[in-house]
Structures are given as C-alpha cells and as structure tokens.
Amino acid sequence: MSDTILPATRRGVGGHTPGILLAALIVGTLLAVLLARPPGGARTGLPQVDLVVERDFVFLDGPDGEVSVSVAGHPALGRALPAGTHNFIRGVLRGLARERRQHGLGREAPFRLAAWADGRLSLEDTATGRIIALESFGPTNAAEFRRLLTPAESSAGRKPPHSLEVP
C-alpha cells in the first residue's frame, strides 16, 4: 500500500476553491453592468428632435374586411381601408391588438401616430405604451402610415375638411 494521503478538499488555482472564483466572477460582472449603465436608466440612442405632427387614430374592423380609420374624437375625419389593401398597416395593428388582448385591454384607446423633424415616424399604442419606429420597416411601409397624416387633395387643389388621404 501507498503512504500517500490525499487532501480532503481539492484546491483550484492559487489555492482558492473554484466556487470562490466563480462567485467573484459573477459579482464582478454584475458590478460592471451596473456601473456601465447611464444615470437615469437605459438610453435609446435616439436623438431628441422636434415633433412635426401628431394625431390620434382609432382603427375599427368594418364589414367585408375593411378597416375604418378615424381621427380620435372626430369620427367624420377618416376613411376606410378596403379589404386586401394596406397590408403593412393591418399587420402592425393585428400585433398591437393581440398585445392589448394579452393585457386584458379594450380597443377604445387610440393609437398615436407621430412624424418627427428628422424624418422618423412612430406609432404609439396609448393603451400599452408600446412605441413602434415605423421607418425601421423601410420607407415603403412607413409611407403607408405617413399618408394618414396628410389630408387628401380635392380636384380643385384644396384640402377637404373631412377627408384623409388613404389610397
């Protein structure tokens, strides 16, 4: 038999147990994250720019698959999106409606569409607080929503008071 005696505990690098080294790594990582966070919370990195136009809209499902779009508080200011058209608008609204249902919220609260001085366009669900940067989906898709902010032109070149441009 051998007279060699094995130690009761196994030692790691530098005489420290691996558990202590792992705990030090975790604490160090947490400290680095906390210290790297800017004061006042996380920042989005978006520049602060002026608001050009903002309007609250209500979107309602209509007969035969159309979607009724009206300015909140002014149901006469609006128009219908015919079935099979404006698929990007429909897709965004479906996602936001699903999120409202998950939170047990109704569909009464309007959606806030905003155009910014730097060309950005955002859609905010006023019920959930969720904001979507529409330009991130490309200029063609953002243009579908941007048209909702532009009054339609009449044949005489004047803007009718109760119409929104939605081709």
The per-residue pLDDT for range 86-145, each reduced to its tens digit, is: 889 989 988 998 999 999 998 889 999 999 999 999 999 999 999 999 999 999 999 999
pLDDT of 85 strictly over 80:
yes
Q: Could you identify the residue written with the tokens 């978006």?
A: 46
Across the beta sheet with 131-133, the strand order is 74-81, 67-71, 51-61, 111-116, 121-125, 131-133
Task: Specify the pLDDT at position 153.
Answer: 41
pLDDT of 157 strictly over 60:
no
